[in-house]
Amino acid sequence: MSLWIETKIEVAIAHRQYNVPCEDKCANLHGHNLKILIEIEGEPDPITGYIIDFKEVKELIKSKFDHKTVLNQRDETMIDTLLSINQPVYELPYNPTCENISKHIWDLIKRNFVNADITTIKITVWENRDSKATYIS
């Protein structure tokens, strides 16, 4: 038997790609309203009836990303500048591309819900209505 659940989350982020050519417009700080679809295959807990609690997943993702500037941890000048004016920053060990964010969210769920009986996690992140990245494992 296969049981899938899904939830959608929207987060507002600012980001830029670190160490890309200056003529690449993604090298500049800019914003997106990311749409995130989280699909999880697994078995419900016999006591709660949940594979995973949607509320907990949403709180986790929003606490990391929503209304934050998401930057590569090597982008030290930008990070220091933003923190010096009390702006929230979320650091990643890689550039905050749509591809890397989808994989990072997968990692967050895997690490934070270790007791859940999860078979597969599929994360799709839309940067805009035409561009998305999906990570599944």
How high is the pLDDT of residue 25?
84
Query: What DSSP string describes the chain?
Result: ---EEEEEEEEEEEE--TTS-TTSGGGS-EEEEEEEEEEEEEE--TTT--SS-HHHHHHHHHHHHTTEEEEETT-HHHHHHHHHTT--EEEESS---HHHHHHHHHHHHHHH-TTSEEEEEEEEEEEETTEEEEEE-
Q: With bands split at pLDDT 50, 70 and 90, how would you rate the model's confidence at 105?
A: very high
How high is the pLDDT of residue 1?
59
Q: Which domains does the chain have, with CATH numbers?
A: 4-136 (3.30.479.10)
Query: What number is the average pLDDT over the span 132-136?
Result: 98
In this model, does residue 124 exceed pLDDT 80?
yes
Query: What number is the average pLDDT over the span 85-100?
Result: 98
How high is the pLDDT of residue 128?
94
Query: What number is the average pLDDT over the span 100-117?
Result: 97
Query: What is the per-residue pLDDT across 8-50, written as a single tens digit (0 to 9) for each?
Result: 999 999 999 998 877 778 889 999 999 999 999 999 999 999 9
